[in-house]
């Protein structure tokens, strides 16, 4: 049935429910995974403050916490780390498939395709079996970094490097990507970045994951749909654009003029703004400290001066609207110092966020009802089909 709408009416005719573009402020689920206080700039995973996790935990421990709800005992963590280590390799068939991808293709597209391809190898009919769920979690957390690193080498015309069993999760990823064993501080900072990006409530890609999960499809399809959603420049893709912007601005002295011009042209400043935060994103605060730690140890990057100048100049221009740096503003500077190519910044985000997606997958399965929202129809009234010779060319054609 077509709901009758008056022009400009933003309420559903039958239910009277107001349309909120982008579902702004509309609760779409109940969740016990992550909480954000956007006025205070507070972020907790399962009740633990982000700052405490970043200082004391590891990415795999944090992933365990997110997915199973409690911090692991040392035996549980050792088992989980071991299981992940045992599943890092990907089938030669997946690697061969990746060799057929165009080298010029974006690594997020390669990741989405290869993540989806895992569903071909593992049965999808057991999502109510706890062992299947555990195995799927382990496989996805273990194999996503291997696939990201593999595509990087494949597109350079090289064979992927096999994971090294003596290296921990983050160190192994950096090794597979750069072909060099990383400095322990670099590996620790990278691991911290993964923790910061692991979960963030019902952001676009997590919502996408939950919608896909609600159809009871397999977890590889859940993750592949979320990867596709993360890729966009308003979401995970912003971290790439931030570096391009810093390079375009070029020097700290140009920051004010750049912002004025962007605001006049009504252009978004990349790495700024967040639906949930009205203050500086707490993850940006931690990342900025990590950037400085990186530079103290491995040398300064002048783009950091540009970034700080933009943040300073933006305070008076965007601050009154509650627009401050978000997680993407400083992450690219860390990744750049780690030698990660720019178009891998968003795949790195995906390596981390897979933990949050899987936590939401499990939660969704625990109390599932398929997502099927309504819409406010604004199209034509019912009309009669017209033979082709009587039609005039429509302006849209
Ligand atoms: N630069 C300039 N103005 C902005 C910005 C920005 N980065 N973000 C929001 N605004 C303005 C916007 O122009 C609008 O102004 P007005 O009311 O005068 O028209 C107002 O703030 C509300 O903007 P919105 O786009 O309706 O806000 P939203 O909650 O729908 O969007 C956002 C949130 C993150 C998509 C947006 O802030 C944005 O596009 N930021 C730049 C891209 C970015 O950094 N994305 C990464 C987000 S954090 C990590 C992640 O989720 O992946």
In the predicted structure, residue 71 carries a pLDDT above the cut 90: yes
Please write down the HEC assignment for all residues of the chain: CCCCCCCCCCECCCCCCECCHHHCCCCCCCCCCEEEECCCCEEEECCEEHHHHHHHCCHHHHHHHHHHCCCCCHHHHHHHHHHHHHCCCCCHHHHHHHHCCCCCCCHHHHHHHHHHHHHHCCCCCCCCCHHHHHHHHHHHHHHHHHHHHHHHHHHCCCCCCCCCCCCCHHHHHHHHHHCCCCCHHHHHHHHHHHHHHCCCCCCHHHHHHHHHHCCCCCHHHHHHHHHHHHCCCCCCCHHHHHHHHHHHHCCHHHHHHHHHHHHHCCCCCCCECCCCCCCCCHHHHHHHHHHHHHHHHHCCCHHHHHHHHHHHHHHHHHHHHCCCECCHHHHHHHHHHCCCCHHHHHHHHHHHHHHHHHHHHHHHHHCCCCCCCCCCCCCCCCCCCCCHHHCCCCCCC
Q: Report the pLDDT value the prediction gives residue 279, as an integer from 0 to 100.
A: 96
Q: Report the pLDDT value the prediction gives residue 9, as an integer from 0 to 100.
A: 60
Average pLDDT over residues 245-270: 96
User: Which class does domain 34-234+341-366 fall in?
Assistant: mainly alpha
Structure tokens at 371: 């997502």
Measured from the CB, is residue 270 less than 6 Å from ligand 1? yes
Average pLDDT over residues 313-317: 96
In the predicted structure, residue 2 carries a pLDDT above the cut 70: no
Measured from the CB, is residue 283 less than 6 Å from ligand 1? no
CA distances from residue 115 to 107, 158, 211 in whole angstroms, order as listed: 12, 21, 17
Structure tokens at 104: 């010029």
Q: Report the pLDDT value the prediction gives residue 3, as an integer from 0 to 100.
A: 45
Please state which of the ranges 196-205, 214-223, 236-245 shows the lowest mean pLDDT.
236-245
pTM over 0.85: yes
Tell me the pLDDT tens digit for each residue of 260-282: 999 999 999 999 999 999 999 99
Q: Give yes or no: 87 in active site.
A: no
Residue of minimum CA distance from atom 2 in ligand 1: 268
In the predicted structure, residue 1 carries a pLDDT above the cut 50: no
Tell me the pLDDT tens digit for each residue of 296-307: 999 999 999 999
Centre of ligand 1 to C-alpha 309, Å, is 20
Q: Give yes or no: 328 in active site.
A: yes
Measured from the CB, is residue 20 less than 6 Å from ligand 1? no
Q: Report the pLDDT value the prediction gives residue 246, as an integer from 0 to 100.
A: 96
Measured from the CB, is residue 310 less than 6 Å from ligand 1? no
* CA angle, residues 167, 168, 170, in degrees to nearest 5: 110
| Ligand 1 closest atom vs CA 263 | 2
Looking at 197, 200, 274, 360, which residue is catalytic?
Answer: 274
In the predicted structure, residue 7 carries a pLDDT above the cut 60: no
Centre of ligand 1 to C-alpha 235, Å, is 10
Q: Report the pLDDT value the prediction gives residue 10, as an integer from 0 to 100.
A: 86
Centre of ligand 1 to C-alpha 10, Å, is 22
Residue whose tokens read 């390079």:
247
Residue of minimum CA distance from atom 28 in ligand 1: 275
In the predicted structure, residue 230 carries a pLDDT above the cut 90: yes
Centre of ligand 1 to C-alpha 96, Å, is 40
Q: Yes or no: say if 223 and 148 are a contact pair by the CB < 8 Å rule.
A: no
Strand partners, 49: 44
Average pLDDT over residues 236-252: 93
CA distances from residue 99 to 126, 157, 346 in whole angstroms, order as listed: 31, 9, 21
Average pLDDT over residues 216-236: 95
Average pLDDT over residues 43-67: 98
Using 50, 70 and 90 to split pLDDT, how confident is the model at 125? Answer: low
Measured from the CB, is residue 355 less than 6 Å from ligand 1? no
Domain spanning 238-337, CATH architecture: Orthogonal Bundle (1.10)
Parse the chain into domains and list their residue ranges: 34-234+341-366, 238-337
Measured from the CB, is residue 199 less than 6 Å from ligand 1? no
Strand 48-49, strand 42-45: pairing: antiparallel
In the predicted structure, residue 361 carries a pLDDT above the cut 50: yes
Average pLDDT over residues 296-320: 96
Centre of ligand 1 to C-alpha 281, Å, is 13
Kindly report the average pLDDT of the chain as a whole number: 94
Measured from the CB, is residue 323 less than 6 Å from ligand 1? yes
Structure tokens at 12: 């559903």
Q: Report the pLDDT value the prediction gives residue 397, as an integer from 0 to 100.
A: 59
In the predicted structure, residue 255 carries a pLDDT above the cut 90: yes
Q: Report the pLDDT value the prediction gives residue 89, as an integer from 0 to 100.
A: 96
* CA angle, residues 13, 19, 22, in degrees to nearest 5: 155
In the predicted structure, residue 51 carries a pLDDT above the cut 60: yes
Burial of 81-91, coded b for 16+ CB within 10 Å and e otherwise, reads: bebbbebbebe
Measured from the CB, is residue 273 less than 6 Å from ligand 1? yes
Please state which of the ranges 56-60, 120-124, 177-181, 286-290 shows the lowest mean pLDDT.
120-124
In the predicted structure, residue 4 carries a pLDDT above the cut 60: no
Centre of ligand 1 to C-alpha 81, Å, is 38
| Ligand 1 closest atom vs CA 242 | 44
Strand 48-49, strand 34-37: pairing: unpaired
Please report how the helices 282-298 and 328-337 are oriented relative to each other, as an axis angle in degrees rounded to 10. 20
């Amino acid at each position: 049935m077509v709901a009758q709408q008056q022009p400009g009416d933003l309420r559903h005719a039958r239910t009277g429910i107001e349309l909120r573009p982008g579902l702004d402020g509309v609760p779409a689920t109940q969740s016990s995974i992550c909480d954000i206080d956007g006025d205070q700039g507070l972020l907790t995973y399962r009740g633990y403050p982000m700052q405490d996790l970043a200082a004391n935990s590891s990415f795999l421990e944090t992933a365990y916490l997110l997915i199973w709800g409690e911090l692991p005992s040392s035996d549980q963590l050792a088992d989980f780390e071991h299981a992940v280590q045992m599943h890092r390799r990907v089938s030669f068939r997946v690697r061969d498939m990746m060799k057929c991808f165009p080298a010029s293709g974006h690594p997020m597209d390669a990741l989405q395709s290869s993540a989806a391809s895992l569903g071909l190898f593992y049965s999808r009919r057991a999502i109510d079996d706890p062992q299947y769920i555990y195995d799927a979690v382990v496989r996805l957390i273990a194999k996503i970094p291997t696939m990201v690193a593999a595509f990087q080498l494949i597109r350079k015309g090289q064979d992927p490097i096999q994971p090294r069993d003596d290296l921990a999760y983050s160190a192994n990823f950096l090794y597979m990507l750069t072909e060099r064993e990383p400095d322990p501080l670099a590996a620790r900072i990278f691991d911290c970045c993964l923790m910061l990006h692991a979960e963030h409530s019902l952001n676009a890609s997590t919502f996408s994951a939950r919608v896909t999960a609600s159809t009871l499809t397999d977890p590889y399809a859940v993750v592949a749909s979320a990867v596709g959603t993360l890729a966009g420049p308003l979401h995970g893709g912003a971290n790439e654009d931030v570096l391009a912007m810093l390079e375009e601005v070029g020097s700290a002295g140009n920051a004010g003029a750049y912002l004025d011009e962007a605001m006049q042209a009504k252009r978004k400043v990349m790495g700024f703004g967040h639906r949930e935060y009205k203050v500086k994103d707490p993850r940006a605060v931690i990342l900025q400290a990590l950037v400085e730690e990186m530079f103290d140890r491995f040398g300064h990057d002048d783009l950091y001066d540009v970034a700080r100048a933009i943040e300073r100049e933006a305070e008076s221009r965007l601050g009154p609207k509650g627009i401050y740096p978000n997680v993407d503003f400083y992450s690219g500077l860390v990744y750049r110092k780690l030698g990660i190519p720019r178009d891998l910044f968003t795949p790195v985000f995906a390596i981390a966020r897979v933990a949050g997606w899987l936590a939401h997958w499990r939660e969704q399965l625990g109390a599932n009802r398929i997502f099927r929202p309504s819409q406010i129809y604004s199209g034509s009234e019912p009309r009669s089909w017209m033979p082709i010779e009587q039609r005039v060319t429509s302006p849209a054609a």
